[in-house]
Amino acid sequence: MDLLKNPAHRAWIVLVIATAITWYLGEVGAAGTSAIVAMLLIAFVKGRLVILDFMELREAPRLWRILLEGWLIVVSSLILLAYWISLK
- What pLDDT does residue 3 have? 74
- What pLDDT does residue 1 have? 64
Residue-range domain boundaries for the chain: 2-86
Beta-carbon count within 10 A of 74 CB: 10
Q: DSSP 3-state assignment of 88?
A: coil
DSSP string, 21-46: HHHHHHHTT--SHHHHHHHHHHHHHH
- Walking along the chain (88 residues) 10 residues at a time, the average pLDDT comes out as 81 94 87 87 95 91 95 95 91
Say if residues 65 and 57 touch (Cβ distance below 8 Å): yes
Q: What is the pTM of this model?
A: 0.84
CA angle 14, 18, 20 (to 5 degrees): 120
